[in-house]
Chains A and B, each alone.
Chain A
């Protein structure tokens, strides 16, 4: 049958590219292993300190006195909402509970009362679980005959709006999509020019090999900026992500930095690949696992230790972390400088390697 001839030709040509075949075997293996191991067995355990900012003066003294030692040792009291948020941003606490003024009174009167709980943007799973625990702990501190569900917790963002899972994933997704579009753009732009022969046309001119790479990077960065803008608008319109002036600037800066940080890797890969298809497959082999490793969908803190170390290899991890802090907690430089430094180092190192490898690999 003719259609079989077409299919056979496609398979045969695919098998001719050795790198292509290797990567397409590697990809599912890497993916399966990763997906099998990043999730903790049986739900995992949630640990970490709890931050409390109490507007209720009676609550403080009462809790300090009566809480069992283990629970109290995990609790850190803060004097303002901002201190609580800063502690969340620096990772000192996993959740921040805000106790309302009339908390003790309400509990005493058996009146239902809600406390706001801000989960750590890096680990909302833990936040959600621990806020349940808090309800039990604080609820039992009332009179003996307190109704069980008198204390409620409300998951909120730093700005007081209701928390949902998007708030955790959107920042990571932004970085991810920006990186992906740049990487695929680079992959096809270099390999396509190689296949067409126009790369030769550029390389016989006096322009240096380095300038060719930097020029390509520049084009992809501009593409990355455009993509980032689309992402910003979409997350604002459809996901209710709110920006303040500074968080918007930080977001743009971080999106740019994360695309830059990945361009070098993109060049290295594509320079080594002779054709478009191989470039695409090898790109997917790194970007796809990265998506899971970098805590975009699943908090790194909940992964097994070894997987956590692997997660810190990927620049996306830092980009997603910084973006989440900026977007959900609206904090700035003091809390993201480490992420920024890592991203810049990564950018410089990979770009340097890329320039060198491009120079070597374009001459065969």
Chain B
């Protein structure tokens, strides 16, 4: 291995005719790191993953995965990676175990070994009893767990996870999130994409790159990204009535009816102003800036509806 980096991406571009799905991104992932690609729908996350996993040919750029040049030595790259894509990679007409064994064989792993490993994962996911069930008979959550096992049984050094919790209930989501964090603890390198900011914060990722319209608009550790906002404070407040925008000093991050989230320079001054309005305050708290605030701040100017959509997913998530 000629580098200590698990992934090196330089100036990666992927165009579909006129659509610039990925438009010149660069980043590096160290071995053992949990790296998150965060972005709204259509930001280019999946396209990036497809290029990195040798499923799509880049329009331009240099890519190194597991120490091998992806374009020159794709087979060696593929030996070291595992993928959980947006679509579940399983055959409906095969059972969980048959699926896992089939895909493991393509890595040259014997059935006896893959069965042993599959047992470990399926037990961990609480679906060991369903090992001989056809995938077509399984629920979405069960499928996704088998899918994860399928990707992990060949023991890849680097694992790409493209929104692995999509469509799962909060309990399963937490289960999988914790599991991924556990994988990092084992020393695996993980590239994880999501549009749910909450996930990234909860998983305490090592590094996050925020993508928007094919570009990385911000990159760094969670702390680094949040640091930009340290000078100000975030106030979250619920009132009976909607506050008039011009009465509030500070930068409004979210305002939905009586709910207000605002970034203020001077919290004392803000409180005095609110008091003057003479309205009923239901709750009030100050927060550290969350990644969501960072995101809203960064993607300002880009499509507002998308942001709203994202907030809604976040709210559902919390409920």
Name A residues whose Cβ lies closer than 8 Å to a Cβ of B: 196-198, 200-208, 363-364
Contact = CB atoms under 8 A, between A and B. Distances in A.
A207 B104 CA distance: 11
B91 interface: yes
Interface stretch (B36-44, B73-81, B116-124, B164-172): B73-81
B301 interface: no
Contacts of A203: 54-55
24 contacts: A196-B91, A197-B85, A197-B86, A197-B87, A197-B88, A198-B91, A200-B55, A201-B103, A201-B150, A202-B103, A203-B54, A203-B55, A204-B53, A204-B54, A204-B55, A204-B81, A205-B103, A206-B75, A206-B78, A206-B79, A206-B106, A207-B106, A363-B54, A363-B56
Contacts of A202: 103, 106
A204 B108 CA distance: 13
Interface in B78-98: 78-79, 81-83, 85-92
A200 B79 contact: no
A202 B86 CA distance: 15
A205 B91 CA distance: 16
A130 to B, nearest CB: 55
Nearest to A211: B106
B57 interface: yes
A200 B108 contact: no
A17 to B, nearest CB: 17
A202 B90 CA distance: 10
B83 A204 contact: yes
B107 interface: yes
A196 B92 CA distance: 10
Nearest to B82: A204
Give chain A's interface secondary structure class.
loop
Nearest to B92: A196
A207 B54 CA distance: 12
Contacts of A204: 53-55, 78, 81-83
A198 B90 contact: yes
Interface residues of B, number: 26
Nearest to B89: A201
A200 B85 CA distance: 9
Contacts of B85: 197, 200-201
Contacts, number: 53
A172 B55 CA distance: 41
3 tightest A-B contacts by CB?
A: A197-B87, A201-B89, A205-B106
B61 to A, nearest CB: 15
Contacts of A198: 89-91
A99 B90 CA distance: 69
- Highest count of chain B CB atoms <10 Å: which of A196, A198, A208, A364: A198
A206 B107 contact: yes
Interface in B111-166: 150, 154
Contacts of B83: 200-201, 204
A109 to B, nearest CB: 74
Nearest to B90: A198
Contacts of A364: 56-57
Contacts of A197: 85-89
Nearest to A208: B75
A204 B147 CA distance: 14
Contacts of B150: 201
- Highest count of chain A CB atoms <10 Å: which of B83, B87, B106, B108: B106
B57 A200 contact: no
Interface string B49-78: 010011111000000000000000001001
B85 to A, nearest CB: 6
B89 A363 contact: no
A205 B78 contact: yes
A167 B3 CA distance: 70
Given A206-B78, A364-B57, A200 B103 contact: no
Contacts of B87: 196-197, 200
Given A196-B91, A197-B86, 19 more contacts: A196-B87, A198-B91, A201-B83, A201-B90, A201-B103, A202-B103, A202-B106, A203-B54, A204-B54, A204-B78, A205-B78, A206-B75, A206-B79, A206-B107, A207-B106, A363-B54, A363-B55, A363-B56, A363-B57
Contacts of B91: 196, 198
Contacts of B92: 196
A201 B103 CA distance: 8
A286 to B, nearest CB: 28
A291 to B, nearest CB: 31
Nearest to B91: A198
Contacts of B81: 204
A200 B57 CA distance: 13
